[in-house]
Chain A
Amino acid sequence: MEANEFVVRMEKITKIYPNGIAANRDVDFAIRKGEIHALIGENGAGKSTLMKILFGLEQPTDGTIYLNDERVTLSSPLEAISKGIGMVHQHFMLVPSLTVAENIVLGMAPTKGGLFIDYKEAVRLTREYSEKYNLFVEPDARVADIAVGMKQKVEILKALVRGAQVLILDEPTAVLTTQETVELFQELKNLKEQGFTIVFISHKLKEIKELTDRITIMRAGRSVGVYDTDTISEQEISRLMVGRDVVLRMDKPESVPGERVLCVEDLHYINEWDKKMLDGISFSVRQGEIVGIAGVEGNGQRELVDILFGLKVPDSGDAMIDGQSLIGLPQARIRTLGVSYVPEDRMTFGVAQTANIQENMVSDRFSQKRFNKGPLFNMKSLYDESDKLIMDYAVLCKSRSQEVGMLSGGNIQKVVVAREFSSDPILIIADQPTRGIDVGATELIRNKLVELSRAGAAVLLVSADLNEVMELSDNLIVMYNGQIAGYFDDGQWDDVMMGEYMLGLKRQSDEEIRRACHA
């Protein structure tokens, strides 16, 4: 194998973020000229970080990058662009009120006499590239008015016009409809034929098998292997991707499910880009059980949780707590029904950073009688409450009056969890409860979840961390493409099997899935 057949070589890349998380460890990554190369891995496996380094958005802590065998440092996206690397971000970097052509030439607009934008030239340029690479766009349309599929093409064109030879596409199909995906694949194959090199980040095995030449699989910040796509089976990919070093099973008492607390019936939700995010989801959660929802991110979990906590209204279907529908209720009402919620984005929804621990601990209950004496707060009971919670949840802090923002991630999450778990909830929705936090806090939060469920609470656990859902859940739902792909209530699951359901290789019969309703 000749070295110079690689357009990009990244060697021994290590990236340690200031908060101490090692996102990449000694990763080797190489792309051949003119191939479509898949980069695959679970959320948090380090794919994005690796690509951010290649696009100059992040600097590696260690390691070297070669472009066409020349050692380079990429200190900014501008530098990466000038060296022929283009990136299509998952969240589009477009200006909605500008036209397609204006977006494409932004920062490098052609001029007439050096003063005015030569808009005709911009349109011509857009057309030229659009035709040359078979990426159909309307140059004069405002970006705000065009469909997602076209926005993506605009992004690709933006990179091509700037002379990109290597295109990085970060989960490009996550936002696309099926038809748009088919189109995109055709376009990407086209580009490949014209000599472009493409890095394709995805979770979807079928797409990868269909589109790519080679595949690099990442797990926990390391590369676990590079394969020719033809020579590796989907099962094998799935195993490598989710496989675990140690199999842990928590010792938890047997669950004795009681009455149904949460009933979700046939939820449908289409997002603002007309993509079907929930496609007939029905299940229930009973007293005393933990129902886990596993799945690769972007398969409808986010929307499901948002609907259950009043942020989104479904197009059809219902969700009920003890027989009362919670659709369209304000958060305050949902809470009084006995729902508590550990949000995925704890810094936005979980805490008020510059308020102190005590204040954060009582944000859902401060108006209760026991904390007030007439118009005034009963400070003693507020202090007692927070001190008790700090103790119970082992929040590492100097005192209850320390600012929450000054705590470590794990301790911030403990504050959130302490509040949410201590309101005598009948249903706990825990969305990624242990993401990005230390082992100690993770352990504590998991134990508390089990404890609460055994004391009678219904728990809905949504997590992209497969280990977590497999360990904690009494019953397990796998979501794929806005639907339930499988429901498991026998405790007999392993990572290989999960991987196959999560990645859409397998699906249970409707009969089996319907068991999730416990009707």
Chain B
Amino acid sequence: MFGQFFQTIFQADFLFIIIRITAPILFAALAAVISEKAGVANIGLEGMMMITALFGFLFAYWTQSWVVGVLGAMLIGILLGLMMGFFSFKLKTDIILSGIAVNMLGTGGTIFLLYMFTGLRGNTGALVSPNILIPTIDIPLINKIPILGDMLSGHAILTYLAFIFVFVMRTFLYRTPLGLKIRAVGENPNAASSVGVSVIRMKYIAIAMSGALAGLGGAFMSMYYSQGWNQGMVAGRGFIALAAQAMGRGEPVGAMFSSVLFGLAQAMKTKVSGLRGMASYNYLIEMIPYVVTIIGLVFYAVSIKRKARRHQLRPIKEKLQ
């Protein structure tokens, strides 16, 4: 059984699947990173992805252009972010609660909106056509390399974008004035405002960017991954992204690694459930990413706690020596 197991794992197409599955989680995880950096916990990512997935698909369908679809999804994501911001920064709704509200809109509201705009119930299967799906690209040269080519080439444009965005995000946060201000606001709003940085504005910017990234994740889901929008499509990826952010210490690269970990676990599930003897463990395998998250969070919490304690005890230790 294990021989077969490893055979399955170490195949190019398995790695291909991992990358494909990771991409939407990664978009959402980056969305969580940017808002968290500004001190805003965006628990509404799940709903944001559902809504933007729907609108991305609809925009693409109406214009028969996947590009418009993706841009439309980002726009809707930005609007949702600004709406959350308005309620939380202006009307002082707890940010967690505005996030939950967006998730509500995501579960039922989308079905309503889908019906309102198209008369369809539950999914958009009837509207799918190839030209509104996000195209895949073969990377010249790389696609000629055995194994590596199969693994890295032939993904959707957005898949590459997700991984590129990790480094764009890192550059943005650490190398641009705006990124600097956003980090400062998240860490010490008083310090930021004492030099004239508008805290509220930075938070609005961060949550709007978070929405845009969630929009990319949503568009990826409906316009590539699921080939159409359906109700159970996002399946907790928004929540997983929150965990990936926390496990990745809130950094883009860290979030990428934890997202890949989730991608791996989900890919295993699809692969392993096809194997003889393993099939009846598919649900338990599906559970792995979530268990890993909890364990990851625990380790993270312990390390922070230990650091704090060491700091506090330092003078005593010096005394004892």
User: Smallest CB–CB gap between A95 and chain B, Å?
Assistant: 5
Please tell me which one of the listed residues B176, B181, B194 contacts residue A93 in the complex, with CB atoms under 8 A apart. B194
Q: Which residues of A contact B73 (CB under 8 A)?
A: none
Q: Within 8 Å of chain A (Cβ to Cβ): is B119?
A: no
Task: Name the residue on A nearest B184 (C-beta).
Answer: A95
User: Which residues on the B side are within 8 Å of A274 (C-beta)?
Assistant: 315
Q: Whole-angstrom distance from the CB of B192 to the nearest CB of chain A? A: 7
| Residues of chain A in range 89-108 having any CB-CB distance to chain B below 8 Å | 89, 92-98, 102-103, 106-108
Contact with B along A265-280 (1 / 0, CB 8 A): 0000011101000000
B177 partner, pick from A81, A94, A109, A313, beta carbons under 8 A: A109
> In the complex, which residues 358-400 of chain A have their Cβ closer than 8 Å to any Cβ of chain B?
none
Q: Are B194 and A98 in contact (CB under 8 A)?
A: no
Q: Does any Cβ of A come within 8 Å of B92's Cβ?
A: no
Question: Are B175 and A116 in contact (CB-based, < 8 A)?
Answer: yes
Nearest chain-B residue to A111 (Cβ)?
Answer: B177
Among candidates A89, A102, A116, A270, residue contacting B194 with C-beta atoms closer than 8 Å: A89
Q: Does A158 contact B (CB under 8 A)?
A: yes
Verify B175–A106 contact, CB threshold 8 A: no
A residues 268-304 with Cβ under 8 Å of B? 270-272, 274
Q: Which of B195, B311, B315 contacts A106 (CB 8 A)?
A: B195
Most chain A beta-carbon neighbours within 10 Å: one of B191, B314, B316:
B191
Q: Which residues of B contact A316 (CB under 8 A)?
A: 319
Q: Are B190 and A93 in contact (CB under 8 A)?
A: yes
Of A95, A96, A97, A119, most B-chain CB atoms within 10 Å: A95
Q: Which of B171, B177, B183, B184 has the most CB of A within 10 A?
A: B177
Chain A residues, CB < 8 A from B193? 77
Question: Once the chains bind, are B196 and A81 in contact (CB under 8 Å)?
Answer: yes
Chain A residue at minimum C-beta to C-beta distance from B314: A272
Q: Is there an interface contact between A102 and B180, defined as CB atoms closer than 8 Å?
A: yes
Instruction: Return the CB mask of B162-182 against A: 1 if under 8 Å, else 0.
Output: 000000000100011100110
For the complex, is B188 an interface residue (Cβ under 8 Å from A)?
A: yes
Q: Which residue of chain A lies nearest to B185 when distances are taken between CB atoms in the complex?
A: A95
B190 to chain A, nearest CB (A): 6
Collect the chain A residues with CB atoms within 8 Å of residue B184's CB: 95, 98, 106
Task: Please name all residues of chain B whose beta carbon is closer than 8 Å to the beta carbon of A94 when the two chains form the complex.
Answer: 188, 191
* Given contact pairs A78-B196, A106-B197, A117-B175, A93 touches B180 in the complex (Cβ within 8 A): no
How far in angstroms is the closest Cβ of chain A from B210? 20
Mark each residue of chain A from 328 to 346: 1 if its CB lies under 8 Å from any CB of chain B, else 0.
0000000000000000000
Distance, CA A109 to CA B184, complexed state (A)? 13
Residues in A with CB closer than 8 Å to B312 are: 272
Question: How long is the Cα–Cα vector from A81 to B196 in the complex, in angstroms?
Answer: 9
Interface string of B190-229 (1 = CB under 8 A from A): 1111111100000000000000000000000000000000
For A119, the closest partner residue in chain B by CB is B175
In the bound complex, do residue B177 and residue A272 qualify as a contact, i.e. CB atoms below 8 Å apart?
Answer: no
- B319/A93 in contact, CB under 8 A: no
- Shortest beta-carbon distance, B252 to chain A, in Å? 15
Inside 8 A of A111's CB, which chain B residues have their CB? Answer: 176-177
Q: Does B94 contact A (CB under 8 A)?
A: no
Is A315 positioned at the interface, with any CB of B under 8 Å from its CB?
yes
How many B residues face the partner with a CB closer than 8 A?
A: 24
What residue of chain B has the Cβ atom nearest to residue A78's Cβ? B196
In the complex, chain A residues 33-74 whose Cβ is within 8 Å of any chain B Cβ: none
> Is A515 at the interface (CB under 8 A from chain B)?
no
Q: A115: CB under 8 A from chain B?
A: yes
Contact (Cβ within 8 A) A109 B319? no
A109 touches B196 (CB 8 A): no
Query: Across the interface, do B191 and A77 meet the contact criterion of CB distance under 8 Å?
Result: no
Q: Does A162 contact B (CB under 8 A)?
A: yes
Q: B188, A96: Cβ atoms under 8 Å?
A: yes
CB neighbours of A103 from chain B (8 A): 191
Chain B 288-318: CB-based contact to A (< 8 A → 1; otherwise 0): 0000000000000000000000011011100
A315 touches B196 (CB 8 A): no
Interface membership of chain A positions 111-134, coded 1 if the CB is closer than 8 angstroms to chain B and 0 otherwise? 100011101000000000000000
Is B188 a contact partner of A107 (Cβ separation < 8 A)? no
Q: How far is the CB of B175 from chain A (nearest CB, A)?
A: 5
A77, A98, A102: the one within 8 Å of B196 (CB): A77
Cβ of B175 and Cβ of A93 under 8 Å apart?
Answer: no
A315 in contact with B197 (CB, 8 Å): no
Min CB gap B38→A, angstroms? 13
> Which residues from chain A contact B177 at a C-beta distance below 8 Å?
109, 111, 117
CA distance A106 to B196 in the complex (A): 9
Given that A95-B184, A97-B183, A98-B183 are known contacts, is A158 also in contact with B195, CB under 8 Å in the complex?
A: yes
Closest to B186 in A: A95
Residue from the set B181, B194, B311 with the largest chain A CB neighbour count within 10 Å: B194
A192–B106 CA distance with the chains assembled, in angstroms: 62
Q: Which residues of B contact A81 (CB under 8 A)?
A: 195-196
A119 CA to B179 CA, complexed, in Å: 13
Give chain A residues whose Cβ lies under 8 Å from the Cβ of B311. 272
Q: How far is the CB of B153 from chain A (nearest CB, A)?
A: 31
A107 near B196 with CB under 8 A, answer yes
The interface residues of chain B lying within 8 Å CB-to-CB of A107 are 181, 192, 195-197
Of B176, B187, B195, chain A has the most CB atoms within 10 Å of the CB of B195
B193 closest partner in A (C-beta): A77
**Which residues of chain B are within 8 angstroms of A95 by Cβ–Cβ distance?**
183-184, 187-188, 191-192
List residues of A whose CB falls within 8 A of some B CB. Answer: 76-78, 81, 89, 92-98, 102-103, 106-109, 111, 115-117, 119, 158, 162, 270-272, 274, 313, 315-316
Query: Lowest 3 A-B CB distances belong to which pairs?
Result: A78-B196, A109-B177, A93-B191
19 sample A-B contacts, Cβ–Cβ < 8 Å, listed by A number: A77-B193, A93-B190, A93-B194, A94-B191, A95-B184, A96-B187, A96-B188, A98-B183, A98-B187, A103-B191, A107-B195, A115-B176, A116-B171, A117-B177, A119-B175, A270-B315, A272-B311, A313-B316, A315-B319
Given contacts A93-B190, A102-B180, 15 further A-B contacts (CB under 8 A): A81-B195, A93-B191, A93-B195, A95-B188, A95-B192, A96-B188, A98-B183, A106-B180, A106-B184, A108-B195, A115-B176, A116-B171, A119-B175, A270-B315, A271-B315
